[in-house]
Structure 1
Amino acid sequence: MVTAVYWVSEAVPLGAAALVPAFLYPLFGVLKSSEVAAEYCKDTTLLLMGVICLAASIEKWNLHKRIALRMVMIAGAKPGMLVLGFMCCTVFLSMWLSNTSTTAMVMPIAEAVLQQLISTGVADAQEDYDNIESPEEDSGSVTSPCRAQPTAVTIPEPEKPLDRKDSPYPTKRDHMICKCLSLSITYAATIGGLITITGTSTNLIFAEHFNSRYPDAKVINFGTWFIFSLPISIIMLILTWVWLHFLFLGCNFKETCSLSKKRKTRREELSERRIQKEYSKLGPISYPEIVTGIFFILMTLLWFTREPGFVPGWTSLFEKKGYRTDATISVLLGFLLFLIPARKPWGHTQDGTPKDSNPDPLAPMITWKDFQSLMPWEIVILVGGGYALAAGCKVSGLSVWIGRQLEPMNGLPPWAVTLLACLLVSTVTEFASNPATLTVFLPILSTLSETLQINPLHTLIPCTMCVSFGVMLPVGNPPNAIVFSYGHVQISDMVKAGFGVNLIGVMVVMLAIMTWGVPLFQLTEFPDWAIVRNVTDSL
């Protein structure tokens, strides 16, 4: 309870609060100090370390920037399509990098485009207004009888540019575009983090909790999670884009999605020019980028083919089963990045000249400093604290007591239990950090599922995804705070847009768990691997 209060209130840093079980359990005789210490480093810790090695290489050699700019160039410069392009590249990057890192990478690129939009809009609006102030310059010396009846024709006056002292935006529409693009990036980072088991820390917390509590399950791995979550993210991406377009850009989807080759506006041309200029600064693709891309593809393929389920995976080639996990792959490839030189060991450089002399020609792809700058040690300690809490609940009998208190919910159908849990979790996570919220709720939801004879995955997976939907306030998660710091959006904008995104997320997750999730995880039956954990058997 002490740790949970500290997590929710954030009176002390989350990592520091996670250390409370390390000294309270031994002092009160719940667990030995050595037993508590063993809970703080699990398989997911090594998995995270390997992924961070790859992320460090991606960031160091600007592969993320090349991918983002290329995808935005493909999308085009129409405001609606520009937003969709940024959302797609953010989703893709967030699959492999942390949501916070992805947002921090993409927002400066988006801000450069927005500033170009604003500066162009100011010039255009001022030019139009000046033309209205002096119409005789355009009328020439031709006179007409119609000139004597100015009231016969009503010419709409273009919007006067806003006073720069009051607003930095030339028009209200420009402000709406800035809001839409800024919010779309934080929402896309959240959506992308759902797709892979390593996409966000809450997915890792769930995976380790589930595998520790149900060691015989063998149903959660990179492949099964990807198959389940990819359709969710695609549907959420489309619906979120539609919602933001409707809220900030209006309902003219026909113009946004039009493929006509009509002449582009000055703003669109300058925006595309700015993006192309940023892309040209990267130069030709470099040798380290190629190596990083190969490692990225290799890691993904090895994760998928380890135990795909429908065919034997590459782990079947080994005699002993169960020794190799996704962490084995990530740590191996991450370790190799410290060994492989960042300079091409043969041929010429990209410009055709021989390799120049380098003080350290064997400098590796990444250094320990690169790795350490990205490694989220607070999350590692936080996850370990959650495991320690779960171990204490098991030994002390708290799990059994919670199971007794939840027995009155026996009359509810599984979908209702899951929906109530999702709504509760998505509400709490608006005011508390995502990892802390999930760490508190996972043991409770596991006990609830066991008590009600529901497949634990029926409640755990939806709640794990819904805990990421803290998108209504800047304190909901770090990507929200990053976007808010740029000053384009107000809290009222985040609440209004985030409420719709939250509802979309809960509905899509519930749709998934009631449809394609049923055959994928066998959710219609209470599995054997959960029966041994059934708390009602021990009452």
Structure 2
Amino acid sequence: MTDVFREIWSYRRLIIIILTPLLFLPLPLVIETKVAECAFTLGLMAVYWLTEALPVAVTALLPAMLFPLFGIMKSSQVNPPASKPFPPTMRKHQRVPEFTRVSSPQVAAVYFKDFHLLLTGVICLATAIEKWNLHRRIALRLVNAVGVHPGWLMLGFMIGCAFLSMWLSNTSAVAMVMPIVEAVIQQILTAEGEAIEQRKRAMTGASNPGLQLEDIDAEFEKPKEKISIVEVPHVEAHNPADCPVPHSEAPLINGRYRTHQDHMMCKGLSLCIAYASSIGGMTTLPGTSPNLIFAEYIHKFYPKCTIINFGNWFVMCLPISIIVLLLSWLWLHWLFLGSDFRSLLRSRGQSERDKAVARVLQEEYNSLGPMSRQEIITIIIFILMAVLWFFRDPGFMPGWAALFPDYSGYATDATVALLLGLLFFIIPANRPTAEKYEAMISWKDFQSVMPWEIGLLVGGGFALAEGTKESGLSSWVANLLTPIGNLPPLATITIACIIVTSITEVASNAATMTIFLPILAPLAETIHINPLYMLIPTTLCVSFSFLLPVSNPPNAIVFSYGHLSTLDMVKAGLGVNIIGVLGVLLAITTWAIPIFDLKTYPDWAPVVT
């Protein structure tokens, strides 16, 4: 019987692919309305996205196939005029009114938006940063600045990874930083073993009868002096029984760690990288795909809303990221390193382990050499891109876009990203010669970094959102959820944040965002609250996928290093999830209100009666 179940389990993807459309088939066959046909597509995509029975990018192509067959959207059409949604009760075989058929938008055009141009420019920058090792210089510089105590190391790595995630994809940031973390971990474990052996020799006098130890880092001979026992650094454990006896022969934990504290430290340093990447990514609009999907949705369905830009988003989210990052650091420190926070204030670098860690970090940084010409060019363009993004239309003052009053709204963040991103293909990396001209990045370099599947996934999300609007499904669901509107607005938003935070643990962040955007926006209109008041906190909470290794790629990367168990991630992630949701709710009820005028129903949103 076990073999039978194992055989069936091996075909689980194929079973899901076949059974799912059969289960949803009564919707278009029995109900026969445009709402039901769109719901069939939405249900099919949601199941495929949640289970990943098909690659997420392949699932995103389903609207391009199903919407034209259902008559919801045309496959292609030149310059479609503004469309009107189908009546929700329109039958499948009912003749479509002429005005509706002519105005039906094209599904193909929805798959490529301003988002894709912004993504292209950002990936050009990310490619240059990776190619010329600027990320390693930034990360190592930050870590060297904070010190070598495990608690400070954790904070330093979190700050460095969060900063990188503001401009690179979360996955790229973790892939860059985690090898450095692993090298530090191995050095710590090695130095700990050396310190224990030195302490044993000092106590027994077997290899040093005078009970004298030589400083392993000394570059010259020092006068001999008697010293006491070399102190092994101690980290408070949750269970005192777990504290090791240095001079006892204890078996290695899991074959890798000398003490329980070492194992806990490795867990904390690994998890902090994954969590910091998601926390930092939500700080900027191009930092993570849910932010970009949200911005593109607002620009498409609320074209008169001009307050969603890089500057306003950064001003609102930077305090959130700082608060969530610091509280998450304290939580992880307490969970894995103990509650002795006073040790952080003591003098650092006194133990052999701290010296060894400091040495390896400094050696890593010195191996980079002086900053190269390519790194200087990259950092100049990087700073210039951030400044132009911030001051395009900061909201509290006229931006540089005001210099073109006749073309208001023409230039976007994608314009800046493309302009500066293309410079990497033009500026020579080295002095050109008659035989060779090498630009900062090549097309091959760009292709290796560009996440093409994200482009398709986001395009499919836009098509799904357009289809739910055209068919009337989004309005139908919003009306169904209208009773929630009887609750206070903050309670409604809290429920929405908890729902998306839960769903994103088992589905990709981008897929979760594309499913809920066309549902929550009409809901906000129906209960007559500012759509941004509903969408901004849920967009941020989509990034809080911390519980499982499969929740997002950064979690999977750190899990693959073997220091963690799933239970470790669940315990730590639950606390970080709570911290994140509370931090977002704090922002949305305080400093975000004047930035986006959240307490007022805007004139750019439709009035639902």
Q: Retained in 1: the 8 A contact 2:149–2:349?
A: no
- Specify every segment of 5 or more residues in structure 2 that has no aligned partner in the other structure, as ranges: 1-42, 77-105, 212-243
Aligned AA (2:490)? W
Name which of 367, 370, 379 aligns with 2:454.
Answer: 379
Tell me the secondary structure at the aligned position of residue 166 of structure 2: helix
Q: Does 1:280 align with 2:355?
A: no
| Corresponding position of 1:320 | 407
1:70-112 superposed Cα distances (whole Å, 9 cap, x missing partner)? 1111111111111111111111111100000000000000100
SS at structure 1 position matched to 2:339: coil
Root-mean-square deviation (CA), in Å? 1.8
Asked if 2 retains the 8 angstrom alpha-carbon contact of 1:125 and 1:160, the reply is: no
Please say if residues 126 and 160 of structure 1, whose CA atoms lie closer than 8 Å, have aligned partners that are also in contact.
no
Cα distance, 1:162 vs structure 2: 3.8
After superposition, the C-alpha distances for 1:114-163 in whole angstroms (9 at most, x for unaligned) are 000111112223444566677897699xxxxxxxxxxxxxxx95363542
Find the residue that maps to 1:524 and give its secondary structure: coil
Q: Output the CA distance in 2 between the equivalents of 1:263 and 1:59.
A: 31
User: What is the Cα deviation at residue 213 of structure 1?
Assistant: 1.3
User: C-alpha displacement at 1:175, in angstroms?
Assistant: 1.1
**Which residue is equivalent to 1:431?**
506
What is the aligned partner in structure 1 of residue 268 from structure 2?
A: 180
* 1:501 has 2:576 as partner: yes
Match of 1:393 among 468, 480, 487: 468
Match of 1:124 in 2: 195
Confirm or deny that 1:330 pairs with 2:417.
yes
Q: Summarize the alignment of residues 147-162 of structure 1 with structure 2, pairs less than 5 Å apart.
A: 157-158=245-246, 160=248, 162=250
Deviation digits for residues 150-181 of structure 1 (CA, Å, limit 9, x no counterpart) = xxxxxx95363542484211111111111111
| Correspondence for 2:7 | none
Q: 478-487 or 163-172: which moved more? A: 163-172
- Asked if the contact 1:162/1:169 (under 8 Å) is kept, the reply is no
Distance 1:514 1:163 in 2: 53
User: CA-to-partner distance for each residue in 1:290-345, whole Å, 9 max, x for gaps?
Assistant: 00000001101111111111221111111221110000000011111101100157
What does residue range 35-54 of structure 1 map to in structure 2 within 5 Å? 35-54=106-125
Distance 1:298 1:407 in 2: 46
- Structure 2 residue 222 is the aligned partner of structure 1 residue 222: no
Structure 1 SS opposite 2:194: helix
Question: Aligned partners of 1:207, 1:45: CA distance in 2, in Å?
Answer: 12
TM-score normalized by structure 2? 0.80
Secondary structure at 2:604 match in 1: helix
Question: Which AA in structure 1 matches 2:524?
Answer: S
Which of 476, 479, 484 is the matching residue for 1:409?
A: 484
CA distance in 1, matches of 2:508, 2:578: 19
| d(CA) in 2 for partners of 1:120, 1:136 | 19
Instruction: Name the structure 2 match of 1:81.
Output: 152
After TM superposition, the score normalised by the length of structure 1 is: 0.91
> Cα distance, 1:5 vs. partner?
1.8
Q: Residue in 1 aligned with 2:561?
A: 486
Instruction: Report the Cα distance in structure 2 between the residues aligned to 1:279 and 1:160, rounded to whole angstroms.
Output: 36
Structure 2 counterpart of 1:456: 531
Q: Distance in 1 between matches of 2:577 and 2:393?
A: 33
**Amino acid aligned to 1:298:** L
- Aligned partner of 1:95 among 158, 166, 180: 166
Q: 2:519 aligns with which of 435, 444, 456?
A: 444
Match of 1:243 among 323, 331, 353: 331
Q: Aligned to 2:387, which of 293, 301, 304?
A: 301
Query: Is contact 1:472–1:497 with CA below 8 Å preserved after alignment?
Result: yes
Offset from partner CA, 1:10-66 (integer Å, 9 cap, x none): 110000000000011111211110110000000011001000000000000000111
**Structure 1 match to 2:90:** none
Shift of 1:204: 0.6
CA–CA distance in structure 1, aligned partners of residues 256 and 434 of structure 2: 47
CA distance in 2, matches of 1:208, 1:33: 21
2:49 is aligned to 7
**Does the 8 A contact of 1:94 with 1:192 survive in 2?**
yes
Instruction: Establish whether residue 107 from structure 1 lines up as the match of residue 178 from structure 2.
Output: yes
Distance 1:336 1:386 in 2: 31
CA–CA distance in structure 2, aligned partners of residues 235 and 263 of structure 1: 28
In structure 2, how many angstroms separate the alpha carbons of the residues matched to 1:36 and 1:189? 34
1:36 maps to amino acid: V
Assess if the C-alpha contact under 8 Å between 1:129 and 1:160 holds in 2: no
Q: What count of residue pairs does the alignment treat as equivalent? A: 505
Residues 277, 528 of structure 1: alpha-carbon distance in 2 compared, 3 angstrom cutoff: same
Match of 1:348 in 2: none
Instruction: Compare 65-74 and 167-176 and name the one that shifted more.
Output: 167-176
Structure 2 residue matching 1:306: 3-state secondary structure: coil
Q: 1:114 to 1:3 in 2, by over 3 A?
A: same
Does the C-alpha gap of structure 1 residues 27 and 312 become closer, same or farther in structure 2, counting only changes over 3 Å?
Answer: same
Q: Secondary structure at the match of 2:407?
A: coil
Residues of 1 paired with 2:248 and 2:274: CA distance?
32
Write the letter of the residue equivalent to 2:427: I
Q: Distance in 2 between matches of 1:358 and 1:177?
A: 54
Q: Give the distance between the partners of 1:157 and 1:331, measured in 2 at CA.
A: 59
Aligned residues of 2:253 and 2:259 also touching (Cα < 8 A): no
Contact 2:165 / 2:287 at 8 angstroms: preserved in 1? yes
Aligned counterpart, 1:152: none
Aligned twin of 2:12? none
- Secondary structure (helix, strand or coil) at the match of 1:528 reads coil
Q: Which amino acid aligns with 2:152?
A: M
What is the CA–CA distance in structure 2 between the aligned matches of 1:129 and 1:376, rounded to whole Å? 53
Shift of 1:251: 1.3
Task: State the partner residue of 1:191.
Answer: 279
